[in-house]
Amino acid sequence: MLVVMRGAGDLASGIALRLRRAGMEVVMCDIAVPTAVRRTVAFSEAIRLGQARVEDQPARRAADAAEALRIARSGEVAVLVDPEGRVIEELHHDVVVDAILAKRNLGTNKGMAPVVIGVGPGFTAPIDCHAAVETKRGHELGRVYYEGTPIANTGIPGIIAGHGADRVLRAPADGAFEPVLKIGDVVKAGEVAAYVAGEPMPCTIDGVLRGLLQEGVPVTRGMKSGDIDPRGNPEHCLTVSDKARAIGGGVLEAILHFSSQALA
């Protein structure tokens, strides 16, 4: 089964990892300069580096649909620069998963594949997708909606070890991102993690720097540029999050649900 995914950030990568482990072939599409902060668990790094690995799953950048198909069939995840998802028109795929997480639908529709799954708010099943998956932390995380829509975005990050919005590091100015620290560093509140246009971006809480943008990426003031895990375990930087695993489980459920219907 071939799955094309829109988005290749850390949550999308957690979904892709679960689908690969279930035996599915995966092609992912993202922007030319990805802005995932949890880069150690994001297949989007293959766009920048040519290849990437999330846990035990390798990925490679593809130049076009034909190469992406060859990579996916080899057991690796294929990653393309294709923010509009044009490759969807070229591949004989079974499933499209929109995991851009833009909080709104950026053009995904049910005509794109036999099964189309929307991840997060902005999708309504069965109107613009066959199923939608909840992304908000809490009791409903990972729930599959076969009718309805996920909880609307509140703009407030979920609570981890008593911390919510203060876990997120935001760019202090417009300009090129200049990291000082690296992902996996143990940090203290007030320690400078990066600079933008000469302005410091200090750590907001104690913990482990779980995510940080790459050097040189253009940012705007207030843009999410880093993430601190207050639980303080550097090993968490190398594995997909509990949230990503739960969402991945929901996507897998939806795919199997419709596959079983087709076989009935």
Angle between helices 242-263 and 10-21 (to 10 degrees): 50
Q: Over the stretch 97-130, which tens digit does the pLDDT of each residue have?
A: 999 999 999 999 999 999 999 999 999 999 999 9
CA 252 to chain centre: 15
129, with CB counted inside 10 A (0-12, 13-18, 19+), is: buried
- % the chain with pLDDT above 90: 91
Task: For residue 186, give Cα distances in angstroms to 42, 70, 183, 205, 229.
Answer: 21, 40, 9, 11, 10
Q: What angle do CA 139, 140, 144 make, to 5 degrees?
A: 155
Residue 236 has pLDDT above 50, yes or no: yes
CA distance 203 to 139: 30
Rounded to the nearest integer, the mean pLDDT of the chain is 94
CA distance 234 to 183: 9
CA distance 215 to 49: 13
DSSP string, 169-188: EE-SSSEEEEESS-TT-EE-
